[in-house]
Every structure is written in structure tokens, then in C-alpha cells.
């Protein structure tokens, strides 16, 4: 029985690897099709890029009409849902990709056809273990929305509750896992071959993306996220969160309360319903800031389509697939950096950046200080009511990323979300002032930070760290000395950029060896031809004839390989 299980596991692993390789080659094909041969060569895939120029058809696409950012966006769209998701996430990371790519990736949308009701039925029954007729009194055959990961249908439970059912798309898990394997292979090639890529940690970025998209495909996590937000706002009567029906939910199906509200962007309907737009703007800003600065857990995609307004100016958020987390250290950093900017203390700003961010050895502190000073001067005489906090934070991040200072991804997500929330506030109320909403939260954060309890906590953590260092230092030093004495102290050196040289060297040696074999066949056959001994064919020695044939085939193959590589 054990042998059968091992065999099945190996078989499944082989199948998965085959799918990954097939997907890997498809990615290479699309990159070549959209003119990214140089990128393939930088990844050490020069042979693949050369082959792609001859084998992959680019059709009627005129690459000269498009920028590299536009071509990459089109390539991601053609590669499908996983790559569209990757592009959407990268659009929130201006510290990793250039600004033109950020702008283009923001245009990425899920253009996916809905799957059939029969597939929907199979998915629900497989996940919940009962027929659709047993679970629901009515379920609409036409989806409310269809996306790359799932689609949503309206339904009614047996008890009469109006709900929406979010069902995972058939086969999407296998597709995503295959894509992740191929992406990880490309990320590893980037770290190995592209000089300076270690600063952006492509493998670490891919691991974070894999974790994010796997969480998004697990709908039970989204259900628990909704309940966590509800618990955080249980004393706030004007915030509403959809009820989750766990009896009709699983990892691949999520059944929630149907929300019959008005989109926050539908200003005419809000006015017609007698709702107060100023109150809505105030409550929305306060709720978001409370998520960030009090709970450290915020909605990461608060665009107008995910914000519904209910009677009595209550706010309901939808789609909890993307959330951000701000821990105490990042909250403290935000408070300190904003205070330092307001006080125009550039030395303190730089000190905080050096402490909180990942920096390169070549950081030009003098130039950074100059650019930050110009940034602060640009806001110095601007009235507080005219300052857009989100855009100011994005501009600040843009400056520090020019100096290759890495900041936590959640801070990028926060800046983007803050811009959206602030934009909604100003559309609802032209006199909306985010600074006025931020100030009380910042004052509370400062009071909390300077409280005796917090100071004692920080001091205890510092003393504990030094105590642990003092206990472990003698043991670590002894281990190093023992390794030196036993000649077992090893230092691993990694040579970057040698892989391409090795590949080219191996290719040259193979061609040289083939040439020597070819020459030996011709000379040997010529000698045999002179002896006129052994079996004859058309009056020539058979061995000589065979030698000439093999030499001719080998010569033709060698010439073809050289021409195909594009290097004569």
C-alpha cells in the first residue's frame, strides 16, 4: 500500500512538473512575441531567445508603435489571470518597477468570460457535499460578476435569506500553481544572472505574491477576515459588514449576505435617497484611519465599486480579498516620519529611513537630503485643507525609491488606498480635509507612544535583546574558534554573471569537438578510399562511403546550428 502511494505521489509530481515546463515555455513564447528577447538573454536564455526569433511568430503586431511598458502589459494580459494579478500587485510597488510600468499595470483588468452554470453546480456540490437544490431555494443562473479567480451569483437560502455566492473558477488552482512554478524559475534566473537584481529580491517578491494569491483563492480566509473587521468595529453602529453563512461556505465557496445599497460613486442616487454626503465622507475617512492607526488591519482595495451606502448613512465594504497590515513598528514609523516632515527636520527623516528601510551601500545621503528638502518646501506654504495626504505620501515614497530604499509592501498598499479614500471624500464633499481627520489619530498615537507603559515596554525589549546577546555571544565565539581549529570554517562565494560565460564556453567547446570529429571522419574515410579493401558499393569501399555520409550530415547539422544561433 505504501509503494502504491509513493508511486501515485511521484506520478502526480511528474505531471505537475510537465505542466510547469509547458507553462514556462509558453511564457518564453509570449515574451519573445512582444519583443522582450533582450530580457530573455539577460536571464541567461540567449539560446531560447535566438530560437524564439526564428520559431515564434509575431503576427501583425507592430512593436514599434508601443512602449516597453505597454508591451509588457499586453503580454501579461495574454498570459492570463495569474499574470494579471501579478501586474495589479506590482502596480502598488513603485519601489520595484519604474513609473511608466506602474501606470500601465494600473490599467490591467480581469477580462474573463463567465463559466457555465453546470460547472458552477459541480463546484458547489463538490465543495459543500450537497446538491444545489438542497442548499438553495433559488440561485440565479446569470452571474452578477465574473473575475479570474471566481464569479458571483445571487441566491436565496431555504430560510428566505437573500445571499450572494462566490464560487471559485474550475481549474484555477492548478493553473495558478503551474504559473507560480514558472514565475519562480524566472525569478531565480533573474537573481542569478542580472546584476543588481538582489536589491529587489525577485524570489522574495514571488514568494510574497504566491502567498497573496493563495490566500485570495481560499475563500474561508476571506470569510474570517470579514468577521475580524466586524469585531474591530462592533461598537461602531454606522459600519456594516456582510454576514457570512458558514454552513454554505468552504475554501472554494463563500456565501454572504446580499447587500442592497447605493454605490458611493453614484452621487445622484445618494442625493435622491436623502443621504448626507458630508457625513458619509467623514465616516469613511474616520473608519479607514481607525483601521490603519488603531487596528493595524485595513481594507486594501477600497475603490468605489466596493463601497456601498446603506440607509442612515451607514457604510458597507465589499470584497475582502486584499487586506493590509500595519504593525506597531510601522505605525510608529509613520507617526515619526510625518512629525519630522512637518518640523522640516531632514536629518531626522533620513535617520528614520536608514533605520526602517533596506538601503544600498551606494546611498547618496547628501542628494537624498536635498531632494527631501525640496519636497517639504513644496508643501510649506500650502494650506492644510489643500494638502492631499495620500498623494503626499506617494510622492515621498517615489523620492526614496529613487535611492533604492526599500519600504515594506504594506506601506505602498496603504498609500494607494489612502489616495482612493481621499478621492472619494473629496467627490462626496468638495471641502473634505483629510488632515483634520488625521490629526486626532496622530495625537492619540503620539500619546500612546510617549506613555510610561509604552516606554517601559520598549526599554524591557531592549534589555531583553541585550541580555540574549550577552548569553549567546560566548557560545557563538567558541563555535567559530572551534571551526577554525578544525579547519571547518567555510566561506561561500557566489560568482554572478559566470553562468552565461560557462554556457558560451561549453557551446564553443562542443562545436570545436564536432569539427574535430568531422575532420577525423573525412581524413579516415579518405585513407580507406585509397586502400580499396573490404566490401564494395558502386566501386567504393563501404566504410569510406559511410564515413563520408556521416561527415556530410554532421557538417550540415553544424552549419545549421551556427546559422540558427545568429552568430556566424
Among candidates 10, 14, 48, which has minimal Cα distance to 28? 48
Query: Is the CB of residue 403 less than 8 Å from the CB of residue 364?
Result: yes
Strand segments, DSSP code E, in 253-305 are 253-257, 262-263, 297-299
In the residue annotation, 260 being an active-site residue is answered as: no
CA-to-CA distance for 57 and 54, rounded, in angstroms?
Answer: 8
Query: Is the CB of residue 446 less than 8 Å from the CB of residue 401?
Result: no
- pLDDT at position 198 is 63
Query: Is the CB of residue 315 less than 8 Å from the CB of residue 287?
Result: yes
Rg, C-alpha atoms of the chain: 31
- pLDDT at position 502 is 64
CA-to-CA distance for 128 and 119, rounded, in angstroms?
Answer: 14
Adjacent-strand bridge partners of 299: 323
- pLDDT at position 371 is 83
26 Cβ neighbours under 8 A, 6+ residues apart: 79
Query: Is the CB of residue 184 less than 8 Å from the CB of residue 206?
Result: yes
Exactly one of 95, 179, 218, 301 is catalytic; name it: 301
Residue 374, Cβ neighbours under 10 Å: how many? 10
The label of the residue with cell 469585531 reads 231
Secondary structure, 3-state, 469-500: HHHHHHHHHHHHHHHHHCCCCCCCCCCCCHHH
Three-state SS at 44: coil
Specify the DSSP class assigned to residue 169. P
CA dihedral of residues 18, 20, 24, 30 (deg, nearest 10):
100
Adjacent-strand bridge partners of 142: none
Give buried/exposed letters for 484-520 (b at 16+ CB in 10 A, else e): eeeeeeeeeeeeeeeebeeeeeeeeeeeeeeeeebee
CA-to-CA distance for 215 and 322, rounded, in angstroms?
Answer: 9
Query: Is the CB of residue 33 less than 8 Å from the CB of residue 58?
Result: yes
Read off the pTM: 0.70
- pLDDT at position 449 is 67
Angle at which helices 2-33 and 172-193 cross, to 10°: 70
- CA atoms within 13 A of residue 563's CA, in its CB half-sphere: 6
CA-to-CA distance for 557 and 554, rounded, in angstroms?
Answer: 5
Among candidates 360, 120, 54, which has minimal Cα distance to 252? 120
Three-state SS at 138: strand
- pLDDT at position 499 is 58
Query: Is the CB of residue 164 less than 8 Å from the CB of residue 258?
Result: yes
Secondary structure, 3-state, 427-457: HHCCCCCHHHHHHHHHHHHHHHHCCHHHHHH
Among candidates 264, 252, 257, which has minimal Cα distance to 226? 257
End-to-end CA gap in the chain: 58
Cα torsion 79, 82, 86, 89: sign: positive
CA-to-CA distance for 68 and 36, rounded, in angstroms?
Answer: 8
Q: Rounded to a whole number, what is the largest CA-CA distance in the chain?
A: 109
CA-to-CA distance for 252 and 169, rounded, in angstroms?
Answer: 9
CA-to-CA distance for 348 and 346, rounded, in angstroms?
Answer: 5
Give buried/exposed letters for 97-135 (b at 16+ CB in 10 A, else e): beeebbebbeebeeebebbeeeebbebbbebbeeebeeb
State the burial class of residue 11 (Cβ atoms within 10 Å of its Cβ: 0-12, 13-18, 19+).
Answer: exposed
CA-to-CA distance for 482 and 547, rounded, in angstroms?
Answer: 63
Specify the DSSP class assigned to residue 251. S
Adjacent-strand bridge partners of 537: 540
The label of the residue with cell 525609491 reads 401
* 517 to 550, 560, 561: CA distances (angstroms): 10, 17, 16
- pLDDT at position 5 is 43
Sites in the chain below the pLDDT cut of 50 = 1-16
Query: Is the CB of residue 394 less than 8 Å from the CB of residue 419?
Result: yes
Query: Is the CB of residue 293 less than 8 Å from the CB of residue 333?
Result: no
Amino acid at each position: 500500500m505504501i509503494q502504491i502511494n509513493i508511486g501515485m505521489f511521484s506520478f502526480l509530481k511528474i505531471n505537475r512538473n510537465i505542466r510547469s515546463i509547458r507553462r514556462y515555455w509558453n511564457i518564453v513564447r509570449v515574451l519573445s512575441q512582444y519583443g522582450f528577447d533582450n530580457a530573455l538573454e539577460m536571464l541567461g536564455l540567449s539560446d531560447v531567445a535566438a530560437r524564439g526569433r526564428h520559431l515564434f511568430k509575431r503576427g501583425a503586431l507592430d512593436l514599434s508603435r508601443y512602449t516597453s511598458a505597454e508591451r509588457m502589459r499586453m503580454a501579461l494580459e495574454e498570459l492570463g489571470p495569474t499574470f494579471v494579478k501579478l501586474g495589479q500587485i506590482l502596480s502598488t510597488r513603485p519601489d520595484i518597477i519604474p513609473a511608466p510600468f506602474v501606470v500601465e499595470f494600473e490599467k490591467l483588468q480581469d477580462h474573463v468570460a463567465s463559466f457555465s452554470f453546470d460547472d458552477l453546480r459541480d463546484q458547489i456540490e463538490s465543495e459543500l457535499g450537497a446538491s444545489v437544490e438542497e442548499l438553495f431555494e433559488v440561485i440565479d443562473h446569470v452571474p452578477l460578476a465574473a473575475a479570474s479567480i471566481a464569479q458571483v451569483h445571487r441566491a436565496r437560502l431555504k430560510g428566505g435569506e437573500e445571499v450572494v455566492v462566490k464560487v471559485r473558477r474550475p481549474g484555477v488552482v492548478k493553473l495558478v500553481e503551474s504559473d507560480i512554478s514558472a514565475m519562480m524559475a524566472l525569478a531565480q534566473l533573474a537573481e542569478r544572472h542580472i546584476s543588481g537584481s538582489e536589491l529587489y529580491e525577485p524570489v522574495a517578491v514571488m514568494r510574497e505574491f504566491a502567498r497573496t494569491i493563495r490566500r485570495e483563492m481560499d475563500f474561508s480566509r476571506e470569510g474570517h477576515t470579514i468577521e475580524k473587521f466586524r469585531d474591530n468595529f462592533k461598537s461602531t453602529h454606522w459600519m456594516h459588514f456582510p454576514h457570512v453563512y458558514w454552513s454554505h461556505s468552504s475554501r472554494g465557496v463563500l456565501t454572504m449576505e446580499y447587500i442592497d445599497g447605493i454605490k458611493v460613486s453614484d452621487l445622484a442616487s445618494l442625493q435622491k435617497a436623502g443621504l448626507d454626503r458630508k457625513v458619509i465622507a467623514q465616516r469613511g475617512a474616520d473608519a479607514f484611519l481607525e483601521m490603519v492607526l488603531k487596528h493595524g488591519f485595513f481594507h486594501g482595495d477600497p475603490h468605489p465599486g466596493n463601497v456601498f451606502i446603506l440607509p442612515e448613512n451607514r457604510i458597507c465594504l465589499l470584497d475582502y480579498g486584499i487586506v493590509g497590515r500595519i504593525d506597531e513598528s510601522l505605525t510608529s514609523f509613520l507617526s515619526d516620519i510625518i512629525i519630522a516632515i512637518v518640523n522640516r527636520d531632514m536629518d531626522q527623516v533620513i535617520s528614520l529611513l536608514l533605520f526602517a528601510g533596506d538601503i544600498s551601500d551606494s546611498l547618496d545621503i547628501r542628494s537624498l537630503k536635498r531632494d527631501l528638502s525640496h519636497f517639504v518646501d513644496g508643501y510649506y506654504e500650502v494650506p492644510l485643507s489643500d494638502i492631499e495626504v495620500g498623494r503626499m505620501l506617494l510622492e515621498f515614497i517615489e523620492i526614496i525609491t529613487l535611492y533604492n530604499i526599500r519600504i515594506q509592501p504594506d506601506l505602498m498598499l496603504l498609500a494607494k488606498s489612502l489616495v482612493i479614500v481621499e478621492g472619494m471624500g473629496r467627490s462626496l464633499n468638495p471641502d473634505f480635509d483629510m488632515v483634520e481627520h488625521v490629526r486626532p489619530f496622530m495625537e492619540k498615537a503620539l500619546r500612546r507612544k510617549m506613555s510610561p507603559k509604552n516606554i517601559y515596554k520598549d526599554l524591557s525589549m531592549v534589555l531583553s535583546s541585550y541580555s540574549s546577546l550577552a548569553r549567546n555571544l560566548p557560545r557563538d565565539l567558541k563555535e567559530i574558534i572551534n571551526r577554525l581549529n578544525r579547519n571547518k570554517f567555510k566561506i561561500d562565494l557566489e560568482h554572478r554573471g559566470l553562468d552565461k560565460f560557462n554556457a558560451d564556453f561549453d557551446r564553443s567547446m562542443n562545436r570545436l569537438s564536432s569539427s574535430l570529429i568531422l575532420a577525423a571522419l573525412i581524413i579516415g574515410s579518405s585513407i580507406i578510399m585509397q586502400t580499396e579493401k573490404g566490401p564494395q558499393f558502386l566501386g567504393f569501399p563501404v566504410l569510406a562511403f559511410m564515413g563520408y555520409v556521416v561527415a556530410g550530415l554532421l557538417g550540415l547539422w553544424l552549419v545549421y546550428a551556427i546559422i540558427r544561433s545568429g552568430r556566424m
